[in-house]
Amino acid sequence: MRRRRGMTIVEVLVAALIVGIVAAGAVATWSIASRAAASKRAVEIGTAIAVSEIERVKALRYNYVPASPLQGGVPVPTIRWYDRYGNWLGAAATTGDFRAELTVRILINRDSQTNREDLKEVVVEVWDGARSRRYETARTLLSFGGI
């Protein structure tokens, strides 16, 4: 009996199935990788915004950084808006891609006078525009005598 050359239909179907599984895996991997890169970029911009806000407040010096107003005993944050590239949108902006919330609390003021015994806490939270995802929280302390 002579052997036939070529592949059987079962072998062709198995090969097609293997190629299909590999292709589906490649597409899924590509989708996950592209979303991870976009998410990483947003987190990095959020971190850069938080650092920028902290440095901006530190540059103002202690006397020029007022405590956040209280509403029902809770500090009301100052909100600054940024675009998707991390650029500040200006004082008149009411929406954007990133929302930086700045809160300043007086931690220590022993004698109700501004002197070297005073200490303020500055907290910056960076959220997405809808305030559904927090990217970064940064905090620092300001003292009257220096930073």
Q: What is the pLDDT of residues 37-86, one digit of tens each?
A: 778 888 999 999 999 999 999 998 888 888 899 999 899 999 999 999 99
pLDDT over threshold 80, residue 7: no
Whole-angstrom distance, CA of residue 58 vs CA of residue 104 = 12
Looking at residue 131, what is its pLDDT?
A: 92
**What percentage of residues in the chain have a pLDDT greater than 90?**
53
Q: Are 53 and 100 in contact (CB under 8 A)?
A: yes
Q: pLDDT tier at 105 (50, 70, 90 boundaries)?
A: very high
Token digits of residue 14: 């198995």
Q: Are 98 and 86 in contact (CB under 8 A)?
A: yes
pTM of the full structure: 0.73
Q: Helix H segments across 2-147?
A: 9-60
Q: Which amino acid is at 35?
A: R
Looking at residue 121, what is its pLDDT?
A: 94
Looking at residue 2, what is its pLDDT?
A: 65
What is the strand order of the sheet 134-143 is part of? Answer: 78-82, 98-108, 119-128, 134-143
More confidently predicted of 124 and 28: 124
Whole-angstrom distance, CA of residue 4 vs CA of residue 48 = 68
Q: Are 105 and 70 in contact (CB under 8 A)?
A: no
Whole-angstrom distance, CA of residue 97 vs CA of residue 13 = 49
